[in-house]
Structure 1
């Protein structure tokens, strides 16, 4: 049903509006009730991290303007920066064409990664050298 809905709107005209509640109710949350979220710096467009949201985290994010995730390891809500001070302010939210991934452009204050690095994607794969190269220094608190 989710896929059919998103396929049905593929040919809608540019700037056509849909009710937010209708679209959010059609998102493809997985069996655990989660959907992947990509956090991207709103200015540089660098992908900073990937996390998960359930419907409540999504609603909290939209209401507060601060990124709220669901921590799979801790099994609780995680307001980014609540303990570290490294906050994420929502600038823009987009949904992919299948309704199974959320892209959030954010203003990142401080490091996005728990290691203290600016982004979580600091392990560069170099297949021609059969290596993974670590980029950037960690600055753990």
Structure 2
């Protein structure tokens, strides 16, 4: 039988206050991962990780996600040059969401549209407007 990459916390106290990284992946084996700019705190993107993506991120210092649309491991920036270098990884209190503080490489963009952040639009009066 194959060993899981990450353990399961045996108690709520260990999960919330212990020193063991025991991410709680959902039924599809995924966990939300929010990337923020390490210097500015700007929210860059939300994506998902599976256990292998988190393991590769920890091992390489570059962010890996799981692409739900392609159903495969995704090394952020491998083709676009928009690699995200990990400065810090945090996990929330019940270990079901990851926060990545990253330094973006390449042209400074994060979004596949070329925008600096995936959150480049605001809702005003029920319509979307680009917001630099």
Cα deviation code 1:88-138 (max 9, x no counterpart): 000000001121100000001221000000000012123xx33322224xx
Quickly say closer, same or farther: Cα 1:37–1:59, change in 2 above 3 A. same
Q: CA-atom RMSD, angstroms?
A: 2.1
- 1:23 CA displacement: 2.2
Normalising by structure 2, what TM-score?
0.84
Deviation at 1:82, TM superposition (A): 0.4
Whether 2:128 is the aligned partner of 1:120: answer: no
Aligned to 1:48: 44
Q: Secondary structure at the match of 2:21?
A: helix
Q: How many residues align?
A: 123
Distance 1:10 1:32 in 2: 20
List 4+ stretches of structure 1 deviating above 6 A. Answer: none
Within the candidate set 69, 81, 106, 2:65 is matched to 69
The alpha carbon displacement at 1:11 in A equals 8.2
Correspondence for 2:81 among 82, 85, 90:
85
**Aligned residue number for residue 23 of structure 1:** 21
- Kindly indicate whether the alpha-carbon contact (under 8 Å) linking 1:123 and 1:132 is maintained by their aligned counterparts in 2: yes
CA distance in structure 2 between the partners assigned to 1:100 and 1:11 by the alignment: 11
Query: Which protein has the bigger helix share?
Result: 1
With normalisation by structure 1, the TM-score equals 0.79
Q: CA deviation at 1:48?
A: 0.1
- Gap runs ≥5 in structure 1: 137-141
